[in-house]
Structure formats: structure tokens, C-alpha cells
Structure 1
Amino acid sequence: MVVGKVTFTKLEREKLAEVLWLLNWISVMTGATLFGLGLFLKIEILKWQEVMSDQGILYVPHMLITTGLAACCINFLGGKICLDCADTNKFLRWKLVMMPYVICTFFFTSCVLVGALMCYSIRGQLEESLFLGLRSAMRFYKDTDTPGRCYLKRTLDLLQIQFHCCGNAGYRDWFHVQWISNRYLDMTSSAVVDRLRSNVEGKYLADGVPFSCCSTFSPRPCIQQQVSNRSAHFNFDRQSQQLNLWRRGCRQALLEHYTGIMQSIGLTVLLIWLFELLVLTGVRYLQTAMENVLRLGDPDSESDGWILENSLAETARSNFNIIKNLGKCYQTDNDPNINVPTPAVEQEVPSQLRPEGSLTSGTPQVQNL
């Protein structure tokens, strides 16, 4: 049973070809849009790649960039093909190209859908990457003189200032890491030495946070040392303390930032996929309608176009049989044509015309010299 059968007149086929020519050129622009979105997303991820443990999430922008470039190339060629298909004589030049073109467009359209789904499914992987990356970056915050880590302090400070966040999940995360370099510790102070000795790993841990955690909305000078000690600060007010430091963790801030970008890009890519699906359907109708015109032999006659010549079940079954038969072509054990003698058809040659010294079977005799 034919799926999506539609009858086209000659004028309708010409109009369909012209519309598809225009849609293919619009698709070139949508491909450029995909490329731009992928490039923008890659740049945004690379901005804070130092606080991410896994760069595997870059496959999403790479997918969009590759799909965008493929869209530009495929649709540029498709515009030329569809415009020529309005004429039956010109269609003959592209007849063998039409089916590979439709298949390529189908796979490209599927990749666009996959790219849209990736934008919505990457949140869990991104959250884990930020959690591990921020935890590692905070541990190396103090290593400003170590190659490969000297810019982590600057990156974390800019991150906390720009996104109004502090720590991984909150400002108390800084209490569990030594973020002050030993270069700035007074080793002659008994308090510093006692604090270093009290820790098993010999770290200087304190209830303090870097200056970048200070809130710009605080009504008083920032309290970043002895944060949990109320008696250490004059006229301590709990309400003002709530405004003293940024309460939101940087992991949550970055996750919300990237999630918003991903959702916007995912929605745009999904709309592009719907548009490309429309173009693919139109190209399939044009291909089948023009092929049926050639079968009829009359360029001015009506012709049928369809999406699938058979139902989905029949198409899947036939394709499965083709694949199964392709696999059997290498299995020669059960081939009925092997080791079967081929009957020889002998022609009776008159004895007077048969060469002297030849066998009845036609095999020449070897004469002894």
C-alpha cells in the first residue's frame, strides 16, 4: 500500500519544483544558523573550560557545526536539482542523483533532530563535569606559581564576581580547602603553626573566603575572615550577614547559565528540523512524481507522487531481506549452484566433416611424434 499518495499535474509539478528551489536556498541560511549556534555554544563552553573536568560535552557544539556545514552543502546542491526537475528533459540528468540526494537529506535531517535532543539531554553530564571541575579548581586556587595552574585563581575570581556566586555549592566549600598560599602565611605565628599541625594533611584551613565572594549589595564592609564567628565582628547583624556573601554556588549558577543557552538553541534547532522535514517531504514527492512521468512517457500527463511506495512494515521487511541476502552471498556452503555438473550440449558433427584424430567428445587426441 502506497503511503502519502498525491496526484500532480504538470503545472503543479513545476510549482513544486520552484517552491523547493526557494526552500532549499532558505535551508542554506538555516544551515548557516546551525553553524553559528554551534560556534557560539563552543565559545561559551571554552570560556569556563578550566572549571570543567570533562570536555566531552563539546560534542554538542561540534555536532551542530558539522550539521550546519552539511546543510549548506546539501541544500545548495538541492536548489540546483529541484530547479532543473521542473523540466522532464533536465530531470534525466539528475535521475540517478535524486535517490542518493534524498537519502543524504534524510540522514542530515535526522542529525538535526539528534542535535536538538542533545541540547536537552546534556544537563546531567554538564552538572557532574562542573561539580568535579570546580572542586579541583578550588584545591589549586592557591597555586599561582605552579605552571598550568597559575590562572585558576583569576578564573575563579572572575567567575564568582560575574555570576554572583561563591564556592561549588556554597561559600562554606571554601572552609574545606586551603585557598591561601603558604607564601602569605606568617610561619612565626604560633596560631598559624598550630592550625597547620591540627590538620592531618598539613593544610591551613580557616572559615574564610576569597574577596570575590563578597556581595556588592552588602550594607557594610565585607566580612570574609572568621565568617562563622559572630563575636569576632563589631555590631554583627544576622540580616546584614545574609547579604554579606553570595549565597548561590557557582555550580548552580553556571548550570543555569548553560541550561538557558541549551534550551534556546535546542528550540531553534527543533524548528529548523521541522522545516528541513518539510523540504525532505517535498523533494520525495517531486522525485517520485517525475519518475512516474518518465514511466508514462507523456510529459504533460498527470503523475502520482508518494512518500513510500509500500507501507512501513513492507518497506522494513523488504530492506531486511535485502540485507539478509547480502549477508548470505558470502556463505557458499549451501549454494545449490556449487558442485552441480552442467549438462554439456554436444553437437553431432558429420563424420566426414570431423577432423581426423579427434575424439567423439570433442577433445583432440595427442599424437605420438
Structure 2
Amino acid sequence: MAVGKLTFTKVEREKLAEFLWLLNWISVLTGAILFGLGLFLKVEIQKRQEVMSEQGILYVPHMLITTGLVACAINFMGGKICLDCTDTNKFLRWKMVMMPYVVCTLVFTACVLAGAVMCYSISSQLEEALFLGLRNAMRYYKDTDTPGRCYLKKTLDLLQIQFQCCGNSGYRDWFQVQWVSSRYLDMTNSSVRDRLRSNVDRKYLMDGVPFSCCSTASPRPCIQQRLSDRSAHFNFDRQSQQLNLWRRGCRPALMEHYTQILQSIGLTVLLIWLFELLVLTGVRYLQTAMENVLRLGDPDSESEGWILENSLAETARSNFNIIKNLGKCYQADDEDPNLNIPSAATERELPSRCAHTPETS
């Protein structure tokens, strides 16, 4: 029994074809939107690539960009096909193309859904990339004279100022890295030498943060050094300490920024998928209805259209049998029953090989 079977008159088939022609042209626009969203997401990710590790997260915008370009191509051709389907004679030119077109549209629609799912499932991978990237960037913050790393100080400072954040997870992350270059340390100072000797890796660690961690909400000049020692600063109570530095880490701040972008893009792509699913359903009805008209031989007669010609179980069983029969084509040749039949030339050689030799007395 066919799934979703409907009956169409000639007028209804023509109106369906015209409606699908319009929807396909709208789909060209949605394909351009997909392309634009993918391009926007790629630019946003590459803006912060200095503080991201190589986790391969660009596959999401690349997926959206590719799907958008394919959507424009498929729906442009689909508009021409649907317009010609208003006339039975013109449909004959596309009869052999309709089924591949439906299959391509189905694959493309599945890719749109996959793109929407990726936008919601990339969060953990993005967070790991930010954690590793920010950790490495903080380690190289002091290397302002090293080629390939000299820009990281400026990048991190601008990032902390723009997103009002400090460190990876918080300002105490700066206590665990040497962020002051050795060229700016006074090695003649005994306290500096003692601090270097006290560390296993001979790093100059201190309870201080860069200036970009300072909060503009602080009512007093920013305190960056000796943050763990309250007695080192006059009138440095708990409330002023909380206002002194940005309390939020840069990883949560960037995650919030990218999560908002990904959720907005994911919702838009999901709406586009629902629209493309509507177009795919209409194209399938148009294809089956027009093919049944050709079988009937009367262009003015009613015809039936459906989504699946048989039930889901029968369709799955039929496709499984087709795949199984295709596999038999690649079986070994030794299963051929004609393989061991001797040829005529072989039969002629057998008597000569079995010739009787004369007995000797």
C-alpha cells in the first residue's frame, strides 16, 4: 500500500508545478542564506584562531558553505524542471532526470539537517579548543620578541578588554604561568633570584595579572600585584577585590559569545530544513503524479501521487534485496557451474596423452 497517496486532477498538477517553481526559487535564496551563515561563522571562528587549538571545528562552517552552494544549484535546476512539468509533453524531456533529482534533493535536505545538528553538537569540541588555545596563548604571552608569538600579548590584552574577562577560567590562571619576560626581570635583585630558584622549572611566578584584567567598575586604581596579600594594599577589602579585576574567565566569555551565534544559526538552518522538506515532498508528489499520467496515456485524466509506492517495511525489504543481489555480482568465479567443463581442444588432447605404448618382450 502506497504511503501518502493523493489524487491530482490536471489543474491541480499544474498548480502544484507552478507552486513548486516558486518554492524552488525561494530555495535558491535560502541556499544563499546558508552560504552566508557558513561564511559568517567561519570568519567569527578565524577571528579568534590565535586562542584556539587545531581541533578541526571549521568543518561546520565548511559544511554550511558547501550545502548552500549545492542548494543554489539544485533548486535553480528544480525551478526549470517544475515549470516544464505544467505540460506533459515538456515533462518527457525530464522524465529520466526526475528520480535522480529527487534523490539529490533528499541527500541535500539530509545535509541541511546535519548542519543544524552540528551547530548544537559542536559546543564541547569548541570549549576544548578554547581551553587548550587560551592555555598556550597565556604561556607565550611574554614572548614578545619571538617570531610567530609576538602578537599574542596584544591579542590576549584586546580579548580581555573586549570581553571583560581575565585568564582561562579566572584571574588566578595567571598565577600559574610566567607572563613577564625575563628581559624585564632584575637578576641582581635577590627577591627575583629567590623566586626563580623556588620554582622547579625556574619560572618567575607571582600573584599578579596583566593590566588588561583590570575592571573599569573598580572605584580605586587597579591593583595587579600581590593579589593574595590583603595587607599589602591599604583599604583593600573583599568588596573592592571583587570589583578590582574581571571575575569571569575568557573561556566562559567566548563560549557564551559563540553559543549565541551557533544557536541562532542552528535555528535558522533548522527552519530552512523544514522548508526544504516541504519542497522535497511536493516534488515527489509531482514526479509520481506525472509518471502515472504517462502510464495512463491521457494527459487530461486524474492521476495518483505518493511519497512511497509501497509501505516502509516493503520498501526497506525491496532495497535490501537489491543490495544483496548486487553483492552476488562480485562473487568468486569458482562458483560458476560452467567453469570446470573441459573445452573441445582439451578433449582432443586427451587421447594423445593417453596413447598406449607397445609392450616390450
Residue 151 (1) aligns with residue 151 (2): yes
Task: Confirm or deny: 8 A CA contact 1:31 1:67 kept in the other structure.
Answer: yes
**Alignment partners' CA distance in 2, 1:150 and 1:276:** 48
Match in the other structure for 2:317:
317
1:79-94 superposed matches below 5 A: 79-94=79-94
- Deviations along 1:223-246, one digit per CA (max 9) or x if unpaired, are 011111111112222211110000
Match in the other structure for 1:249:
249
SS at match of 1:304: strand
Q: What stretches of structure 1 of length at least 5 have no aligned partner? A: 342-369
- Deviations along 1:27-54, one digit per CA (max 9) or x if unpaired, are 0000000000000000000011111112
Q: TM-score, normalised by structure 2?
A: 0.93
1:92-107 superposed matches below 5 A: 92-107=92-107
Task: Calculate the aligned-residue CA RMSD, in Å.
Answer: 1.3
Give the CA deviation at 1:330: 2.1
1:270-289 superposed matches below 5 A: 270-289=270-289
Task: Confirm or deny: 8 A CA contact 2:207 2:225 kept in the other structure.
Answer: yes
Residue 333 (1) aligns with residue 334 (2): yes
Match in the other structure for 1:115:
115
**Alignment partners' CA distance in 1, 2:36 and 2:154:** 29
Give the CA deviation at 1:336: 4.9
**Alignment partners' CA distance in 2, 1:37 and 1:280:** 22
Q: Which amino acid aligns with 1:333?
A: D
1:52-71 superposed matches below 5 A: 52-71=52-71
**Alignment partners' CA distance in 1, 2:86 and 2:287:** 11
- Deviations along 1:53-102, one digit per CA (max 9) or x if unpaired, are 12411000000000000000000000000000110000000000100000
SS at match of 1:243: helix
Same amino acid, percent of matched pairs: 85
Label 1:336 to 1:281 Cα distance change in 2 as closer, same or farther (>3 A): farther
Label 1:80 to 1:137 Cα distance change in 2 as closer, same or farther (>3 A): same
**Alignment partners' CA distance in 1, 2:341 and 2:290:** 46
Give the CA deviation at 1:198: 1.0
Give the CA deviation at 1:324: 1.0
Select between 285-294 and 187-196 the one with higher mean Cα deviation. Answer: 187-196
SS at match of 1:174: helix
**Alignment partners' CA distance in 2, 1:189 and 1:314:** 85
Select between 92-101 and 183-192 the one with higher mean Cα deviation. Answer: 183-192
Match in the other structure for 1:25:
25
Select between 323-332 and 280-289 the one with higher mean Cα deviation. Answer: 323-332
Give the CA deviation at 1:186: 1.1
Q: Which amino acid aligns with 1:83?
A: L
SS at match of 2:75: helix
Give the CA deviation at 1:339: 5.7
Task: Confirm or deny: 8 A CA contact 1:8 1:305 kept in the other structure.
Answer: yes
Q: Which amino acid aligns with 2:141?
A: Y
**Alignment partners' CA distance in 1, 2:97 and 2:338:** 36
1:1-369 superposed matches below 5 A: 1-331=1-331, 332-336=333-337
**Alignment partners' CA distance in 2, 1:70 and 1:336:** 48
- Deviations along 1:295-336, one digit per CA (max 9) or x if unpaired, are 000000000000001111111111111111111112233345
Task: Confirm or deny: 8 A CA contact 2:160 2:212 kept in the other structure.
Answer: yes
Q: What stretches of structure 2 of length at least 5 have no aligned partner? A: 343-361
SS at match of 1:196: helix
**Alignment partners' CA distance in 1, 2:119 and 2:338:** 54
Task: Confirm or deny: 8 A CA contact 2:27 2:75 kept in the other structure.
Answer: yes
Give the CA deviation at 1:337: 6.1
SS at match of 2:244: coil
- Deviations along 1:108-152, one digit per CA (max 9) or x if unpaired, are 000000000000001111111111111111111000111111111
**Alignment partners' CA distance in 1, 2:247 and 2:48:** 20
Equivalenced residues, count:
342
**Alignment partners' CA distance in 2, 1:333 and 1:81:** 48
SS at match of 1:278: helix
Label 1:262 to 1:94 Cα distance change in 2 as closer, same or farther (>3 A): same
Task: Confirm or deny: 8 A CA contact 2:208 2:224 kept in the other structure.
Answer: yes
Q: TM-score, normalised by structure 1?
A: 0.91
**Alignment partners' CA distance in 1, 2:8 and 2:337:** 47
Q: Which amino acid aligns with 1:164?
A: Q
**Alignment partners' CA distance in 1, 2:340 and 2:27:** 57
- Deviations along 1:264-291, one digit per CA (max 9) or x if unpaired, are 1000000000000000000000000000
**Alignment partners' CA distance in 1, 2:47 and 2:216:** 24
Q: Which amino acid aligns with 2:244?
A: N
Give the CA deviation at 1:340: 7.1
SS at match of 2:335: coil
